[in-house]
Amino acid sequence: MARLVMVSNRVVDFNAAQQAGGVSVAIYNTLARQSGFWFGWDGQIEDTDPSQLSPKSAAVGEHVTVTEPLTPADYNDYYLGYSNSVLWPVFHNRLDLAQFEAGYYDSYVAVNTRFARHLAPLIQPDDVIWVHDYHLLPMALELRRLGIENPIGYFLHIPVGPAQALLAIPENKEIARALGAYDLIGLQTQSDVRNLIDFLQQSVSGRLLPSGRIRVFDAELDIGCFSVGIDSHDFAFGPGEAEALAETFSSDINRIIGIDRLDYTKGLPQKFKSYGKFLEEYPEYRRRIVLSQFAPPTRESVEAYADIKAELESLAGSINGRFGELDWVPINYIHRTIPRSELRDIYRTSRVGLVTPLMDGMNLVAKEYIASQDPKNPGVLILSKFAGAAAQLSDAVLVNPYDLNDIVQGLRIALEMPLDERRARQEKLVKIVRAKDSNEWSRSYFSALVKAGQRRLGRSFKSSPEMGRALERLQVAAKKNIRESQLTANAGT
Ligand code: GDG
């Protein structure tokens, strides 16, 4: 069976698997079911000559990761710079926040080239390579230059803004050409697919073929919609668990839950402001509700992220100052990462899930909230129309996050919704979340990628024992390290 080689900017520690972030959660869930390995950055920064960097492998059970550090310059220009101060804002249609600085793009390409050079020798002939997200757009082009013929797919977790926004990127033609090196591009929604095709047509005269594929220069590729799902079992309650939770948790105050990385695309100021407006317009709800907003820190060195942190602290402070009482704090704002094991119980004990991004590729929190609810007495999901998830979760209370009144009315509807309506909506929503789960996402993407690769190659993938041996050596070394660390740990007890 073909191995799956996942490539993403950041590789999570399988031992911890605590990272807040939709991409790591999605990849982690996929690799938990499929043989292969995960290649990318280990999260470390090493002040060294980039030519001295080399990948290291580690294994937890059957899972293998191959990772390497970034240099301080890579971190600044490739990660914070081009990835998060150019591509992230532009693809989220926030040209006003984009910083087109000289040098960012060169560093972006240099890191992709280095990663490709380190990855190529590990690829076996039957491997299928699946690259993730905006940090690694040029990865396939670099791998092809090194002679890798295997199927290479790309999945973009973030939304694709309108073509006009993407065309503003000075290197938009290079980006379009790099996309042409993939066999399959997976996006979250049909509207993303339309926007990307539009961009390829305008940037490099891409041609939509009668087959539905698109021609970019001399390459032909597939572009399709594969909405990311969650592993709903992670959020389900086993026998007795729900009862045990109900016994330890009882409160007269209805919790409204928000869980979002502290990112300007997540619409947090609008959420806080509308919550304040709700308390003002519906004073009967004061002392009866609380907004618990978890906002784990992310990309703190990027200016736009520092600004939003300050804005939120001030908004939470002023709402709590205005409406709070000695024994009631209206907003519980927690700027920390919570352990993943606690998420399910927090969702379950929250009367409302409030998810109001201004633009979001999918939004897994919305799906996790639904998967955690009690079917007999479910809470209500309020969801932004501009989250990719809204296309699937149309039975949530959908709101326009730019319109504070709409969120205020959403809150009122959610808090006043009768039990039978809550149950009816939940039943439909949970069915979709379970059917379109992470398993379905990776299965459908993987098989489409294999098909697209085979079509290009016109044959099954050829074998070269040379490349296989390199990875085998890494795997053996990694397993040996694990055994040694286990032995050391045992000796210490
Ligand atoms: C990108 C796209 C797309 C959050 N806080 C904590 C925590 N989380 C977990 C959530 C969820 C994940 O992180 C967040 O996923 P989202 O989908 O909501 O958002 P992004 O991180 O922006 O993800 C997004 C996604 O990729 C997948 O394709 O949906 O549109 O932007 O799983 O539960 N987890 C823990 N502590 C926290 O404090 N443990």
Amino acid at 36: G
Look at residue 451 and tell me whether its pLDDT is greater than 80. yes
Considering the segment(s) 234-435 as one domain, its CATH architecture is 3-Layer(aba) Sandwich (3.40)
Cβ(142) – ligand 1 distance below 6 Å: no
For ligand 1, atom 7, the nearest C-alpha belongs to 20
- Structural domain boundaries of the chain? 4-229+437-485, 234-435
Taking the C-alpha atoms of residue 421 and residue 428, their distance in angstroms, rounded to an integer, is 11
Amino acid at 117: R
d(CA 183, ligand 1 centre) in Å: 27
Chain centre to alpha carbon of residue 275: 26
Q: Which are the contacts of 114, defined by CB distance < 8 A and separation ≥ 6?
A: 50, 53
Taking the C-alpha atoms of residue 389 and residue 369, their distance in angstroms, rounded to an integer, is 12
Measure Cα distances from 190 to 156, 181, 221, 261 in Å.
13, 22, 16, 25
Cβ(338) – ligand 1 distance below 6 Å: yes
Q: What angle do CA 167, 305, 98 make, to 5 degrees?
A: 15
Cβ(360) – ligand 1 distance below 6 Å: yes
Look at residue 236 and tell me whether its pLDDT is greater than 70. yes
For residue 133, give the ligand 1 atom closest to its CA: 26
Which of the pair, 172 or 465, is modelled with greater confidence?
Answer: 172
Instruction: Among 259, 299, 367, 440, name the best residue to mutate to test ligand 1's pocket (greatest count of ligand atoms within 8 A of Cβ).
Output: 259
pLDDT of residue 90: 98
pLDDT of residue 1: 60
pLDDT, tens digit (0-9, with 9 covering 90-100), for 252-275: 889 999 999 999 999 999 999 999
Segment 204-227 mean pLDDT: 94
- The maximal CA–CA distance of the chain, rounded, in angstroms, is 72
Measure Cα distances from 291 to 46, 271, 285, 381, 476 in Å.
40, 10, 12, 14, 49
pLDDT of residue 460: 55
Amino acid at 458: G
What tokens does 306 get?
A: 């520092």
208 has which bridge partners?
214
Q: Where are the beta strands (DSSP E) in 135-178?
A: 152-155
Burial class (CB in 10 A: 0-12, 13-18, 19+), 243: exposed
Cβ(292) – ligand 1 distance below 6 Å: no
Considering the segment(s) 4-229+437-485 as one domain, its CATH architecture is 3-Layer(aba) Sandwich (3.40)
d(CA 260, ligand 1 centre) in Å: 7
pLDDT, tens digit (0-9, with 9 covering 90-100), for 416-438: 999 999 999 999 999 999 999 99
Tell me whether the CATH fold assigned to 4-229+437-485 matches the one assigned to 234-435.
yes
Taking the C-alpha atoms of residue 459 and residue 150, their distance in angstroms, rounded to an integer, is 11
Cβ(158) – ligand 1 distance below 6 Å: yes
d(CA 416, ligand 1 centre) in Å: 28
Q: 3-state SS string over 13-80?
A: CCCCCCCCCHHHHHHHHHHCCCCEEEEEEEEEECCCCHHHCCCEEEEECCEEEEEEEECHHHHHHHHH
pLDDT, tens digit (0-9, with 9 covering 90-100), for 4-44: 999 999 998 766 655 556 677 778 777 777 788 999 999 99
